[in-house]
Structure 1
Amino acid sequence: MKALIAALLLSAAPAMAFDIDAMSDDEKAAFGEAVREYLMANPEVLIESIGVLESRNAENAAENDKLLVSQFQDEIFSDDHSWVGGNPDGDLTVVEFIDYRCGVCRRFNQEVHDLVEADGNIRLVMKEFPILGQDSDSSARFAVAVKQEAGDEAYMKAHDALITLREPATLENLKAIAVDIGVDAEAVVAAMNTEAVSEVLRKNHQLAEKMAIQGTPTFVVGDELLRGVPQAGLTATVNEIRARQEG
């Protein structure tokens, strides 16, 4: 605990740097008691120090995430298998790692589409990242198979159907979606377990692992990685990131 207090004090005031290990046992005891007495009398100092430490940790994490985006930018923005929509020549690319059975992904799906449509200058990339069980995997395989068999327009129809599907992602329900969106149901279902589809999901999972992405939705906006939906809202956050990059 004393070490933690010392670390917090040092993080809040670097000028106070000293080597606590150079103290004698009596000096350490006296120092610990003095710190305790001071913090008991001024608890707001500890709260402030913790806030500074958390802020610095958040800044370091954001910088590390930027390095990850830079390191894997080709796989993130320019792979040969992900669906790309919005404005292909837009000034900002938004990438979403998505699981069709993810409740948060479902709630924010319309906001993503509204943002892209209203902005008009966003390039949108979708990456299937099924992590919530068999229905997630089946849904992702169906979406990728539709793209490979019937193209990008059919993929987006499948995407919209899957993100609102309340029933289990059984083959029967997936075939019904295929019929509704006007693609060959048998061909798509037959393609779901092919190596071509498996390779797409494998590459997405490998990329997520390299970037320490463990949940959905996860967004990459320009050079910044957003782990989850930002509290300020996606539209406001995208506008802030664009302004930073333009500045």
Structure 2
Amino acid sequence: MTFISPRRYRPRLLHALLAMGAVMVAMPDTGHAADPAESFTPAQRQEIVAIMRNALRTDPTILSDAIAALRSNANAAQQNAARGALESHRTDLLTPAASDAILGNPQGHTTVVEFYDPRCPYCRKVLPDLDRLTREDKDLRIVEKVIPVLGQGSLITSQALVAAFVQGGQAAYFRMQAAVMGDSASPTVERMRTLATQSGLNATTLATDMNGAKVTAILQANMELARAIGLDGTPTFVFNARQIIPGAVGYDDLKKAIAQSR
């Protein structure tokens, strides 16, 4: 609740509110909630509106305080919903799927799940920080879940990354990731074939697998989990299924969140 400091007009406003309560208390108990609009005469309603308008003109901070309170309540509700979603999907977030690429220690006791789009510039920017964190923290594993949310180019590159994993596991995935995430050319299937060849993969097999049932199922599962936890952008990080940080975040904030989640 946001408390508003008294002003010279506030006793009048308070009296009006007290009068409103008195009228409602005095009404007979019918077993049903009274409609406030029917509890006052037109003149009384007009007076209440006039008091509120005068209060807002005299002290506009009432409105800003009210907006702040609404935002605070909305944020609290959003956080509660996020905590509920994380708890509901705790197992999914703490148990990597066979198709998940993992940075760091695969048996690490601290699990960070990253949902990312390979075309997202912030996802590309954070890669060195993730590498640094796993080098410094030997009990950390970062589970990467690819989600195509930025259009057709994202879908093509996401399919190529998952197809690389299907073809050659973790090592093939990370070689293809380095090629894809560092590439500035337009993402086409032919471009993915070229990057696959440069990464030591079979380009023909990769291009076929990109539209195969296995790759499609993996991407669909990633998207469903992302939607279930209320993902609102990329990258999004989930720390030990306890905390979510959406959007661009740097090394220091990531390290702090990891420490808090332990």
- After TM superposition, the structure 1 = structure 2 runs for residues 180-195 of structure 1, keeping only pairs within 5 Å, are 180-195=198-213
Aligned to 2:113, the other structure's residue is in SS state strand
Supply the AA of the counterpart residue of 2:165: K
- Evaluate the alpha carbon distance shift between residue 120 and residue 50 of structure 1 in structure 2; reply closer, same or farther with a 3 A threshold: farther
Contact 1:12 1:53 in 2 (8 A): no
- After TM superposition, the structure 1 = structure 2 runs for residues 65-214 of structure 1, keeping only pairs within 5 Å, are 65-78=82-95, 79-214=97-232
Contact 2:133 2:255 in 1 (8 A): no
- Aligned mates of 2:61, 2:254 — CA distance in 1: 31
* Counterpart position of 2:2: 12
Supply the AA of the counterpart residue of 2:156: S
Contact 2:239 2:257 in 1 (8 A): no
Residues 37-69 of structure 1: CA distance to partner in whole angstroms, max 9, x if unpaired?
122222223222322221221122112111111
Q: TM-score, normalised by structure 1?
A: 0.82
* Counterpart position of 1:226: 245
- Aligned mates of 2:113, 2:160 — CA distance in 1: 20
1:107 is displaced (CA, Å) by: 2.6
- Aligned mates of 1:41, 1:199 — CA distance in 2: 60
Q: TM-score, normalised by structure 2?
A: 0.78
Gaps of 5+ in 1: 1-10
Please give the root-mean-square deviation of Cα atoms over the aligned residues, in Å. Answer: 2.7
* Counterpart position of 2:67: 50
- Evaluate the alpha carbon distance shift between residue 238 and residue 63 of structure 1 in structure 2; reply closer, same or farther with a 3 A threshold: farther
Of the two, which has the highest radius of gyration?
Answer: 2
1:199 is displaced (CA, Å) by: 0.7
* Counterpart position of 1:4: none
- After TM superposition, the structure 1 = structure 2 runs for residues 17-36 of structure 1, keeping only pairs within 5 Å, are 20-21=36-37, 23-24=39-40, 25-36=42-53
Contact 2:99 2:165 in 1 (8 A): no
Gaps of 5+ in 2: 5-16, 25-35
- Aligned mates of 2:256, 2:171 — CA distance in 1: 27
- Aligned mates of 1:48, 1:119 — CA distance in 2: 43
Contact 2:82 2:230 in 1 (8 A): no
Residues 90-148 of structure 1: CA distance to partner in whole angstroms, max 9, x if unpaired?
34221111111122222333333333333443210111111222221111111111111
Aligned length: 233
- Aligned mates of 2:45, 2:132 — CA distance in 1: 59
Contact 1:175 1:189 in 2 (8 A): yes
- Evaluate the alpha carbon distance shift between residue 53 and residue 119 of structure 1 in structure 2; reply closer, same or farther with a 3 A threshold: farther
